Amino acid sequence: MNMNLPDKQPLSIEQNKPALTGLSTAEAAERLKRYGSNAVREQKAHPVSLLIKKFWGPIPWMLEVTILLEIYLGKTTEAMIISALLVFNAMLSFFQERHAQNALELLRQKLTVQSRVLRDGTWQVIPAENLVPGDIIHLRMGDFIPADVKVLDGQIQMDQSSLTGESAPVDGGKGQEAYAGAIVKRGEATGEVIATGTQTKFGKTAELVRTAKTASHLEEVVFSIVKYLVVADVALAGIVAAYSVVLKLPWHTILPFILILLVASVPVALPAMFTLTTALGATELSRKGVLVSRLSAIEEAAAMDVLASDKTGTLTENRLSLAAIKPYPPFTEEEILQFAILASDEATQDPLDLAILEAARQRKITVSAELLQFTPFDPEKKRSEGLIKQPDGTTRKVMKGAPLTLAQLSGVGEKIEEEVHEFAQKGYRVLAVAVGNDDNHLRLAGLIGLYDPPRKDSKELIQSLGDLGIRVLMVTGDDAQTAQAVAQQVGLSGNVCSVEAIKSQGERVDDSCHIFAGVFPEDKIHLVQKLQKAGHIVGMTGDGVNDAPALKQAEVGIAVASATDVAKAAASLVLTTSGLGNILSAVKTSREIYQRMLTYTLNKIIKTFQIALFLSLGFLLSREFVITPLQIVLLLFANDFMTMSIATDRVTASSKPDRWNVFSLMKVALLLALPVLLLSFGFFYTAKSLLHLPLEQVQSLMFVMLVFTGQANVYLVRERHHVWNSVPSRWMLLGTLVDVLLVSLLASQGILIPAIPFSLIGMTLAVVGLYLLLIDRLKMRVFRLARF
């Protein structure tokens, strides 16, 4: 038979099979109304129960016990303020997590499973949610099976472990059923949808974003900070308690003070601050084409120092086209292309097949053969096959696949290596075409060179990532020559290493290796693990089902825009446009977010050291409380929560990866806390001994001074250069202004605290401003000394 390939018409080589036309659009719409969408709606926890959980945990327990003790001691005002603090913290965390969940819900919508369906006689790609019973769909390696399907043709191997718990793969052939939620591990098949949505055997089809919470480096940082601060304040509280026993002070006076001292040492708002900052960052990244499915990945991206990138679709355009044909006599170029067509199938949507079929359309190739049987590409055999019947009635087998594999089957061995090498040096993806009566009587017909041009921005992108201290690795299944050619075109230098460098027994991967050739997807997780063992924070890009383990293993798993649903489900970042350009935005934005979190954290530690030491030493030296428990509680609002506007600060991204070093952080904070501690005692001595203020007014003045210095420290540590070198965000400036005005109002009007003259408040503000300018030079020396 003759088969013409007109422009813009689907090519489907399905001869000698039952004609498949699928449903019409009208039939599908009618069935969608009858059966409903192909989805199982997620059962969500009630918002009230989620809110209640915010009052359960170590930090809420500490605040709740303090509230009960305050009520028991008759201090209702303090109890009410701490209660307000507890509610505020819970509500803030609740709303931020709800915001994050809404973002994840949007992500789920964007990560809708796509299916290849035969509608109106043409193959289309539609959301799996719109599938209906009776639809004809095509499954290939890497797909989630979107509904219960009866296989009509082809052979697949499925992973049903998430459904049945059985780790062994399951084969599916003609007449067998494949169930929704399984993953196609090998092969391809066409089937008819027999059940959708809640009627499927296992009842779930599209839960792509895993909700299980995994520990992150950021959580470790928070726990380390809390540990250091609590240990330090417990020691100070013990000293104060022992001293109180010696002085025979009543316990009903000293106990609330010790409890509040401990509460002040716990960074109550730190988790909420980190959640707020990363949630705002995730929103910002979504506008830049990066969807965040795990908020902690933002912090990990700031520390990422190695990025292992796929070649196809990331560094290249993923737009394969026919570049060259090398015929071996007596075959012609047109015959080679005809054979390649018969060993391809549009229903697979395989990029290699689509490139060949598109070239056939453009050249208006006519195929004179009947396809009796088609076997899709098998990764183990490294070829696809077609059994054809020629016009003269004879049958032949055509193959398309790896050149050396077909060369060996054809008996020519290494004779074509030079031609393959020439194609590979040009960056071509090389395929061989063979034809014969059977596997034992094959003849190599020729070579086909397909070219996927590098993206125009790839070279600049690799250079930019290198300038940010990120080592870029190219990982590809191509041979070494093709990999080297593409690497040179995108400006990637370094040695080309084989997959053996990954599989070797050594703990490390050679640092000189920047290009890994001949790598299968399952090798990628071993590459990630070796890099992690060497101390690297690893980013990994991927697009296939076999990439999922590596994407999950990497601290920053990145699914490219063309990735399979499985890969997107496993990744923590999903790009919405082709290429890696958005990764640059993700890195810079993440480093800006890290700088904001660092500012808040460093300021909190400085303030904790200052307040804890000032309260404890002040009591030991003067035998008086330099500030009241109520004022300490107010400080938590004025310092911890009012400074959360840092989450919007205008900062500069670091030029190198940012990694948390809690010990260095503590050292810097202690050194910067000493000057402000001396300033605190200076104020206390001036107010008590020179101005002869009563103790109540001294305590109010000290409260105002601690609030003002808390705000000053934010500006002191917000950047790693001088205070005056950058302008903060307007929200941060507004937060400081509101804080200063509100505290000044409380102190001058005697609200909640004893009143003090407004002149003392103004003098305090001026002295703290001068302190900020003077201590800035010391800060620069401390940062350099600590290599901060």
598: pLDDT confidence band, cut at 50, 70 and 90? Answer: confident
What is the Cα–Cα distance from 532 to 509, expressed in whole angstroms? 10
Of 40, 42, 182, the residue nearest 105 (C-alpha): 42
Cα pseudo-dihedral 628, 632, 633, 637, rounded to 10:
140
pLDDT digits (tens, 9 = 90+) for 124-181: 888 888 899 999 999 887 788 888 999 998 888 887 655 554 445 677 888 888 888 7
pLDDT digits (tens, 9 = 90+) for 44-57: 556 677 677 777 76
What is the Cα–Cα distance from 377 to 678, expressed in whole angstroms? 75
Q: Which of 368-382, 662-676, 697-711, 739-753 has the lowest mean pLDDT?
A: 368-382
Active site residue ranges: 310
Of 165, 142, 135, the residue nearest 30 (C-alpha): 135
Q: What is the pTM of this model?
A: 0.69
Q: Which range scores top for mean pLDDT: 170-174, 353-357, 437-441? A: 353-357
What is the model's pLDDT at position 619? 78
CB 311 within 8 A of CB 544: no
What is the model's pLDDT at position 9? 35
**What DSSP state is assigned to residue 316?**
B
pLDDT digits (tens, 9 = 90+) for 314-337: 777 777 888 899 999 889 988 899
**What DSSP state is assigned to residue 273?**
H
CB atoms within 10 A of CB 210: 12
Which of the pair, 206 or 219, is modelled with greater confidence? 219
Q: Which of 101-105, 377-381, 671-675 has the lowest mean pLDDT?
A: 101-105
CA 301 remoteness from chain centre: 8
CB 154 within 8 A of CB 188: yes
What the block records as the tokens of 182 is 């399984």
What is the model's pLDDT at position 726? 78
Average pLDDT, the chain: 79
Ordered by where they begin, the domains of the chain are 2-35+112-199 (2.70.150.10), 218-280+593-785 (1.20.1110.10), 290-317+454-576 (3.40.50.1000), 321-451 (3.40.1110.10)
What is the Cα–Cα distance from 532 to 519, expressed in whole angstroms? 18
247 to 254, 261, 460: CA distances (angstroms): 11, 19, 71
DSSP bridge partners of 154: 189
Residue % of the chain over a pLDDT of 90: 9
- Does 104 have pLDDT greater than 90? no
Burial category of 293 from C-beta neighbours within 10 Å (exposed 0-12, middle 13-18, buried 19 and up): buried
pLDDT digits (tens, 9 = 90+) for 288-303: 888 887 777 888 888 8
What the block records as the tokens of 381 is 């055999």
Of 634, 646, 688, 676, the residue nearest 779 (C-alpha): 676
Query: Residue range 626-635: average pLDDT?
Result: 80
What the block records as the tokens of 275 is 């959640």
CB 556 within 8 A of CB 537: yes
What is the Cα–Cα distance from 302 to 698, expressed in whole angstroms? 45
Q: Which of 204-213, 359-368, 422-431, 591-600 has the lowest mean pLDDT?
A: 204-213
- Does 211 have pLDDT greater than 90? no
Which of the pair, 15 or 225, is modelled with greater confidence? 225
Which of the pair, 644 or 195, is modelled with greater confidence? 195
